[in-house]
Amino acid sequence: MNRSSESAVRPWPPLRPGDTVRLVSPASFPEDPGAIEALTGILHEWGLRVQVGEHALDRHGYMAGTDKDRLADLNAAYADPVVRALITTRGGAGAYRILDGLDYAAIRADPKPVIGFSDITYLHLAIWQHTRVPGIHGCLVGAHAIDTVHHLLTTTRPHVLARNPRLMSAEVETPGRARGFTMGGSLAALAGMVGTGLPDLSGAIVVIEAQRLVGLGQVDRQLTQLIRAGAFDGIAAIALGRFHGFEDYTDRGWNLIDLLRDLLLPLGKPILGGLEIGHGPDPHAIALGVAAELDTDSGTLTCYPAEGR
């Protein structure tokens, strides 16, 4: 079924003290043995009840248990009416392996957000494709990260992300203003979903962030794949977050800015860079699947969670 024309589900009702959230590990396991305790402490400070998925600390290679067990934890959380949000313990690798087994009917029947980024982008994209349920690209590590996730989970007030001129991607810009819905996250996940269920991005303000695992060729190949696949043909605008690890990296005279300008400026869409989204210390969170407005004059991306898409 082509779901591109279907309406989005309005975002979750704000969480209130006494609500229950569940910690899950759809990809890798938390390497810090105190991670669960730290996450629980933060959530308790918000007045929330915390449950831990049965397999959240399992280990199967670099993943948090087998595909079957990680999937079971997700589906159990979505099926439990007491659980009002899913907090992932980390990204890593492996979320892409369990997308086909998600109980999308249960997700549609009782919409609740999943909070996570990096490899969790695969979940955000798949859930949006099948259910139009919004989520939160973010984590609970760092003061700004915690504050912005708290804002997005417990209020419906607009959320403004402002350009940080010190971030490398701030140097990439095409002037303009656009309104659309936010979608995206990890560039690797966006490219990895081409041909396997990438949602229709028509009308989207596409959020892109990445971390350097190899060189500029990594970003070049992934962006080129998306462009050649037509994924960006109908988008409203592009919001660039952090490209962690590329700050001092050059390859035969080119740096990340040269590459991004070479590939993205010809698209002719408004582009705003320098947003504190993605890998690196203390990232800000952003709601995905909600109405938003990008304005390069003010250097802001404003999300309107109360409006849905």
For the annotated catalytic residues, the residue numbers are: 118, 209, 279
3-state SS of the chain is CCCCCCCCCCCCCCCCCCCEEEEECCCCCCCCCCHHHHHHHHHHHCCCEEEECCCCCCCECCECCCHHHHHHHHHHHHHCCCEEEEEECCCCCCHHHHHHHCCHHHHHHCCCCEECCHHHHHHHHHHHHHHCCCEEECCCCCHHHHHHHHHHHHCCCCEEEECCCCCHHHHCCECCEEEEEEEEEEHHHHHHCCCCCCCCCCCEEEEEEEECCCCHHHHHHHHHHHHHCCCCCCCCEEEEEEEECCCCCCECCECHHHHHHHHHHHHCCCEECCCCECCCCCCECEEECCEEEEECCCCEEEEEHHHCC
